[in-house]
Amino acid sequence: MVYRATRICSTYEALHDEFDIIRGLALDNGYPVAFVESIIRRQLNLISTPRAITPTAPESDTVVLRVIYYGKPSQIYAKRVTAAVAKQYPLKQIPTELKSGVVYEATCPQCKEQYIGKTCRHLKTQMNEYLAEQEKLLSPPVKVPEPKLNSNVSSKKSNR
């Protein structure tokens, strides 16, 4: 209610009257006076001392070059300036394993057969899938041990 009163009231007299009404309602509902006053004080402190805005420092230098527009020559000049700046400040290179559209060659370790492919996803994802598939195909089959019969137990069927 205190926040709402600070937003709605346009004069200090109206705000004071509204705080008196809020104090009366709070006391009627059993709230301690100190509690109500602390809430009013906190809300007034927020209004009187707004948060300091900290300017964010740009990660890189921003340079603005203003040129009078003369038509096509201005566009050519802008392209040349942009190209010169791009040479001085190249973009970060993406690691090869995170690139898509990479042409790769895979060789089977057993039969030495080669496969050349092109990824549509990250190279790392493609290689992990290829290696998992290769591991399935090349892993030796697991031999399930046959159950052994104890020599003391007979293997006859019961007649029940």
The mean per-residue pLDDT over the stretch 63-91 comes to 86
Q: At residue 51, does pLDDT exceed 90?
A: no
Residue 24 falls inside a structural domain: yes
Whether the CB-CB separation of 139 and 145 falls below 8 Å is answered with: no
pLDDT at position 52, please? 74
In the listed set 30, 48, 66, which residue is the last one of a domain according to the structure?
48
Average pLDDT of the residues in 99-106:
83
Q: What distance in Å separates the CA atoms of residue 88 and residue 63, rounded to the nearest whole number?
A: 13
Tell me if 13 is assigned to some domain. Answer: yes
Q: Which domain holds residue 104?
A: 96-138
In total, how many domains does the chain have? 2
SS3 106: strand
The answer to whether residue 106 is domain-embedded is yes
Model confidence over 78-99: pLDDT tens digits? Answer: 899 989 988 888 788 888 888 8
Q: Which of 72, 3, 7 is nearest to 40 (CA)?
A: 3
Asked if residues 68 and 27 have their Cβ atoms less than 8 Å apart, the reply is no
Average pLDDT value for residue range 48-63: 72
Q: Is 87 a domain residue? A: no
18-32 average pLDDT score: 92
Q: Where residue 152 falls among pLDDT bands split at 50, 70, 90? A: low
Residue 105 within any structural domain of the chain: yes
